[in-house]
Structure 1
Amino acid sequence: MISTGDQVDIVIWDSQENSLLTSEAEKSTLMSGVEVGPDGAIFVPYVNKVYIRGLTPAAARTRVQEQLIQIAPSAQVQLKLTQGRTNSVELVGGVAAPGAYQMPSRNYKVLSLIADGGGIQPSLRNPRVRLIRGGATYEISASQLLESGARNTLLRPGDTVIVEQDDHSFTALGASGKEDLIYFPKDDLAAMEAISLMGGLTDFRADPKGVLVLREYRVKHLRSDGSAPRMQQVVFSFDLTSADGLFAAKKFLINPGDTVLATESPITSTQTVFGLVGTVFGLTRQASTLSNL
């Protein structure tokens, strides 16, 4: 499709004697680099404006020729399209071939652009796709984009599409297999899945009755009417020894920035105290033995 800013090269052939369009020596006239104006028209001598925006090159050639036939019945037209910079979109980030791409038609969509760029790099973690248009930004995960055709948006000239990996993470602490910053492998992550990513609860150390999720809300999200959290800092507790606690942990979603804390069992603390007492008695007995030598 022809858009504003595109350029067309037009060759007009006319074998008629005393033609207004050609000379006796040359039976053709070249109009090179004629730009489609903001109103969607090009200027053709003796015809004035010809509106070709939204047409295919073949349809535009036919329209120009129909206009010329009124003054030169034997005129024939050739038309070649060169798409302008204003009819392109940018593809940035985690694809094989980022860069500027010309829009081949009005039906050019986000997934088509990504495919033309060689597809999403397989090394990206939970890749996300961002569309920047006129100062507004729209974001979706690549998996959701692939699953829903309705979200595969039509592109407009000047759009920028960015493909990048998801940097959302939570912090794992306490009596678990891993204490680290853990990135989300997918969009929605339940508390039970987070515990699995942490390596589970440590045997003999962790207290399955005390798995905590520490969350800090932004001030703008707080509400006093009960429709949203009232306090900025909130602690959620899960008892994994009960059925209710297990099912709740499977449904409760972790937010980016949360801290998941596996608390230690009270028995562990008791064992630590006994261990210290045992060490003291051991040192005392050893000291007594040495004094008797």
Structure 2
Amino acid sequence: MPSRLARKNRFVLGIFLAVATLVAGCNKLPSDGPLTREIIEESATGDFVLISMTDAISQALMSDGERGFGPVVAPASAGLPQNRIAVGDVLGVRILEAGTNGPFAGGGGLGHADFPKVLVESDGTISLPYVGTIRALGRKPRDIEQDIVERLAGSAIEPQAVVGVVESASNIVTVAGDAGRPGPLPLTLRPTRLAEVIAAAGGSRYPAYDTRVTLVRDGRRGSLNLMEVMESPSHNPLVQRGDMVVLAHEPRSFTINGAVGRGGVFPFETARMTLLDALGRAGGLSDMRADPKGVFVFRFEPVAKLKRLGVPNLARFENDPRGVPTVYMIDMQQVRSRFFAQSFYVQSGDAIYVSNSETVQTQKLLTLFDLSIGTGASLVGAGADIAGAL
């Protein structure tokens, strides 16, 4: 039969083993996300593409930004408003003559007649009293004036004619969607830019930074945020007859979490936002927690874009409608990475994550170990008392 001392020693040893098991079982400490090395290691599975930011990648991303209206607006001259008459146009015609004996004679020796709304019929012609039917389709107003004068040469005294387009059925652009006053808008012969058309339609019913502008022309389309259209001349193209402009409410936001001052979901509130701006919105990297080498941006990228960046082995993502799961990694410990962060533009839906430093996990373990030792010491003391009573 074991002695009283042996029983006491066994009890204390059991307490220590229980405490040791508790500490050893904490091999996965609580965390709000993976460590930098864990993300790098997991990228080897090929489930996502990890791109480390370099000078070459930064420059390629800057040149491969949102294409906007580029594919739509070239060439721009083909569909500019033109001074030619189309079916459905409404013309204003004034005929004048000198003398008092002609068909348009009036008092004071001068006669005139006004025809304020002359419709161009479906066959491309117009009809006027004493003039008859004149072909108007595809011709300029001065050509019609000359025809009228020639037709009246035998009946009117020194006739003259003035023809203008009152309403144009061809020189229009249509504004649809979340505009203040959607509908067709006539274009003048003066070149008109996209921002002017949007303003003439009452602007957007939502803030400009939350409005998407889509320009549709000849089956092609391009889109940009309205703020960019307003602020950048290169994104404010000339509109053409037949264009459709669609305004859509598109609130944009990004998520940021991890070792930052204040994580959460943030609205853009500007046309464009850089990674450095986004980190600033979240209070920057936490001095006590953050791993400056582990700043990550998660997004889905088009396969074609990653191919332009020189990323290989993308075949498995070719048919994924979401695109390629892509993680950009920026080492903010390097001075030049600050410049990368100033030129890297955040997109709506991006998830920005700042990894904890490895030392934070160590501190958690030490804290837990210290707590466990304290608890174990208390248990040992209590066990000794119990064993002493045995």
Could you state the TM-score of these two structures normalised by the residue count of structure 2? 0.57
Q: Does 1:66 align with 2:66?
A: no
Maintained 8 Å contact 2:298/2:351:
yes
How far apart are 1:229 and its partner, in Å? Answer: 1.9
The alignment partner of 1:229 has SS state of coil
Q: Does 1:278 align with 2:370?
A: yes
What are the equivalent positions in structure 2 for 1:7-18 lying under 5 Å apart? 7-8=90-91, 16=101
Equivalent residue, structure 1, for 2:295? 211
Q: What is the CA RMSD across the aligned residues, in angstroms?
A: 4.2
What are the equivalent positions in structure 2 for 1:82-161 lying under 5 Å apart? 82-83=166-167, 85-105=169-189, 107-120=191-204, 123-125=207-209, 127-147=211-231, 149=233, 151-161=235-245
How far apart are 1:271 and its partner, in Å? Answer: 1.9
Q: Residues of 1 paired with 2:357 and 2:131: CA distance?
A: 92
Q: Does 1:241 align with 2:326?
A: no
Q: Does 1:6 align with 2:98?
A: no
Larger radius of gyration: 2
Structure 2 segments unaligned to the other structure (5+ residues): 1-82, 106-110, 315-323
How far apart are 1:200 and its partner, in Å? Answer: 1.5
How far apart are 1:203 and its partner, in Å? Answer: 3.6
Equivalent residue, structure 2, for 1:228? 310
How far apart are 1:137 and its partner, in Å? Answer: 1.2
Maintained 8 Å contact 2:213/2:246:
yes
Q: Residues of 2 paired with 1:234 and 1:276: CA distance?
A: 35
Could you state the TM-score of these two structures normalised by the residue count of structure 1? 0.71
Q: Residues of 1 paired with 2:232 and 2:250: CA distance?
A: 19
**Higher alpha-carbon deviation: 187-196 or 8-17:** 8-17
Maintained 8 Å contact 2:208/2:227:
no
Equivalent residue, structure 1, for 2:75? none
Equivalent residue, structure 1, for 2:33? none
Maintained 8 Å contact 1:212/1:260:
yes
Q: Residues of 1 paired with 2:336 and 2:235: CA distance?
A: 36
Equivalent residue, structure 2, for 1:193? 277
Maintained 8 Å contact 2:211/2:247:
yes
- How many residue pairs get aligned? The number is 283
Equivalent residue, structure 1, for 2:136? 51
How far apart are 1:2 and its partner, in Å? Answer: 6.3
How far apart are 1:262 and its partner, in Å? Answer: 0.3
Q: Residues of 1 paired with 2:146 and 2:235: CA distance?
A: 36
**Higher alpha-carbon deviation: 64-73 or 35-44:** 35-44
Q: Residues of 2 paired with 1:71 and 1:151: CA distance?
A: 56
Structure scoring higher RCO (CA < 8 A, sep ≥ 6) equals 2
Fraction of identical pairs, as percent: 23
How far apart are 1:171 and its partner, in Å? Answer: 3.4
* Cα deviation code 1:187-240 (max 9, x no counterpart): 5543322322333123422212221233443334454xx853225444433332
The structure where helix makes up a greater share of residues is 2
How far apart are 1:267 and its partner, in Å? Answer: 2.0
Equivalent residue, structure 1, for 2:39? none
C-alpha distance 142-219 of structure 1, shift in aligned 2 (>3 A): closer
**Higher alpha-carbon deviation: 72-81 or 250-259:** 72-81
Quick one: which amino acid aligns to residue 134 of structure 2? Answer: K
The alignment partner of 1:125 has SS state of helix
C-alpha distance 244-288 of structure 1, shift in aligned 2 (>3 A): same
Maintained 8 Å contact 2:296/2:327:
yes
The alignment partner of 1:92 has SS state of strand
Q: Residues of 2 paired with 1:255 and 1:150: CA distance?
A: 20
Q: Residues of 1 paired with 2:243 and 2:89: CA distance?
A: 17
Q: Residues of 1 paired with 2:199 and 2:170: CA distance?
A: 21
